[in-house]
Chain A
Amino acid sequence: MVKYRVEVGPEAYLPPSAACAGVVLPDPGQALIAGEVVHEDVGMEEAARRFLSAKIPTIFPGPLVLWNWNEKSVKKATAIKAMYDELKAHNPEALLIPMPDYRPKYPKINPEVEINPNHPNLTIWHNKIDVCMFVGVHCHQANLSLKIIRGGTNCYTIAMCAQAGHEDAMLTFRDATPDKIWMLVEAIKDVKKTL
């Protein structure tokens, strides 16, 4: 049996769920790249390289960091903004597009200013996004969205998860804390020096 790899799409009309295809979430201190477990530091460097080499790197902050739930949310939001600023300084085409909530938007979403987990492909197609990161999105909605993206777009997905990770993303971290987000900011700075 060939091991399933979580690769950039478009994969299929309805791609399988990575978990049902045998991909197992990482343990603490680990990350997943294409469904393979790696050390977290390796994941950080890879994410940084993907972002810095992208034409339109994009961060999709979700409700858990957009809204002022608690002190942790504020700290995470600050770190995410710093990450965006770092990417923007490197590439003026970088985008920061919020996912403010999870309701489907009818009759039509405004893809320039928001993304919605029920039809994320519309925003990605409209903006021609080739690398994106989900952060602060509830796990169910994140996985729902990542499957649709993999099925119908060619966007490389990165997921920074406060819980156990998202195996439907091409690259995922777990146990995301403000400090871990800052680690990725530092990784971006470090990789930038090598370019």
Chain B
Amino acid sequence: MDTKSLVGTYNKKGQKIVEPEYMLFEAPRTQEFMTGSEVVKEGIRRASVDVSIAYPITPQSEAAALVGELYVEGYVGEYFRGENEFAVMSECAGASFGGARVFTTTSGPGTLRAYENFPMWAGSRLPILINVMVRGVNSPLSIQPDTLEMGMILETGMLIWHAETAQEFLDFLLAGFIVAEEPDVHIPIAVCIDGFFVSHTKDMVMLPPADITLTPYDPYRSPVPCMDMEVPPIRMMRDPFVMKSNYISYATHASWQQEVRAACERSRKHTIRLIGGLIEEERTDADILIVSSGTAVAQGREAVRLLADEGIRVGIVKIKTIRPFPHEELRQATKNAKLIFVPEFNVAGWMAREIKAILPDNERVIAGPHVCGGMTMPPEVIVKEIKKVLAGRKEAVHG
């Protein structure tokens, strides 16, 4: 089956199957007022999803329940609640091994409980889309937004995209399936949003029509054998055991790990095409920049407005993809900057570390301000941090 040949045909719900480019860029859109959780429902309705499995955990529970409604309506082929997050992600793997387009959601402790599955997904080249609605991890208990768990999944081999708004979230969901399923990519993708700030807050979202849907997943374009019990040889293994204690097996394993990272790199081309690049930038000719991802960028925008009222000019760089990390894009975007502030919703400051690792003259990078455990980050906190650093600098910095 060639799914491209399905373009123009209709699925069992009467939705017309369209090219991703049409869905993302050409289809007429209407404005709706909805939460991020509702965005999940509408995104999945238009995404030809075969299987969705989840286990409830705040704040993603509502989104998973709404996908269940789509199953009842007939838009999702199979849907159920698993025993726990580890079981859920294992079941997602099974569905994907069998050629299904798979969607799941998780948050905080659920992400950590499932953790082992993520590198297994990547190593098996399973293009599962997981929506991570980030929150605090215990202890102490917090269900409010905190991006620490994103730092914990950086090296699992998945693509990692971070949406700032509900609109961006919708577009990332739709584009995420397509990028992840490209034959030269074909690894899982984590589409992250900040729980509650995006998942439970209503925002204006431009929706494509509900009577169109993405092309289905084509497992026969997979870079690894699709399990097909109808066509011989049926026992072709996806993940051969390379556990012998000798050089040959070690070299195979190392090459395999490299190939997963290579797949992440290959996604750059497709990402640029479908979501307009790995970063977005505004006024990057300014001496001062705020660089971050997710709703830290949104708060940064407000801080920029407040600073502008005081005659201080600050630019913005929004990081949209964290894996692959936008190395070259950031180098170019920050080449004029004398100070780079990285506000983050986590105690660790992992985004600042990622940025410092790739920039020349990385003393320019100020890690912070930070909040964590579910605290909000008032824009005034960012303003205060910038002004404090400016006051302490001997070197003149001009906006």
Q: At the interface, yes or no: B22 with Cβ under 8 Å from chain A?
A: no
Q: Is the CB of A67 within 8 A of B233?
A: yes
Residues of A within 8 A of B225 (CB): 63, 102, 138
Q: Is the CB of B251 within 8 A of A148?
A: yes
Task: Say which one of A12-20, A48-56, A180-188 lies at the interface with B.
Answer: A12-20
Provided the pairs A17-B258, A19-B266, A147-B258 are in contact, do residues A163 and B184 lie with their beta carbons within 8 angstroms? Answer: yes
Which of chain B's residues 335-381 have a Cβ closer than 8 Å to chain A? none
When chains A and B are docked, how far (Å) is the Cα of A143 from the Cα of B248?
16
Chain B positions within 8 Å of A, measured between CB atoms, are 125, 182-184, 186, 221-225, 231-233, 236-237, 240-242, 244, 248-249, 251-252, 254-256, 258-259, 261-263, 265-266, 268-269
Give per-residue flags for A1-44: 1 if the beta carbon is below 8 A from chain B beta carbons, else 0.
Answer: 00000000000001011111000110000000000000000000
Can you list 6 A-B contacts with CB-CB less than 8 angstroms, sorted by A residue number? A17-B265, A20-B258, A118-B249, A138-B223, A139-B184, A143-B223
Chain A interface mostly helix, strand, loop or mixed?
A: loop
When chains A and B are docked, how far (Å) is the Cα of A125 from the Cα of B222?
30
Q: Is the CB of B223 within 8 A of A17?
A: no
Q: Is the CB of A104 within 8 A of B259?
A: no
Given A19-B262, A20-B265: 6 more A-B contacts, CB < 8 Å: A104-B242, A106-B244, A138-B225, A140-B259, A143-B223, A147-B258
Instruction: Bin the interface of chain A by size.
Output: 35 or more
Q: Is the CB of B258 within 8 A of A139?
A: no
Provided the pairs A17-B261, A20-B265, A141-B224 are in contact, do residues A164 and B182 lie with their beta carbons within 8 angstroms? Answer: yes
Provided the pairs A147-B255, A163-B223 are in contact, do residues A101 and B262 lie with their beta carbons within 8 angstroms? Answer: no
Give per-residue flags for A135-173: 1 if the beta carbon is below 8 A from chain B beta carbons, else 0.
Answer: 000111101110110011000000000011101100000
A164 CB contact (under 8 Å) in B125, B184, B231: B184
Provided the pairs A102-B225, A102-B237, A103-B237 are in contact, do residues A17 and B262 lie with their beta carbons within 8 angstroms? Answer: yes
Residues of A within 8 A of B259 (CB): 17, 140, 143-144, 147
Closest to B256 in A: A144
Give B178 Cβ to nearest chain A Cβ, in Å.
Answer: 14
Q: At the interface, yes or no: A80 with Cβ under 8 Å from chain B?
A: no
Give A167 Cβ to nearest chain B Cβ, in Å.
Answer: 8
Q: Is the CB of B262 within 8 A of A14?
A: no
A20 CB contact (under 8 Å) in B240, B252, B261: B261
Give the interface centre of B125, B224, B248, B256 by most chain A CB atoms within 10 Å: B248
Q: At the interface, yes or no: A90 with Cβ under 8 Å from chain B?
A: no
Q: At the interface, yes or no: A122 with Cβ under 8 Å from chain B?
A: yes
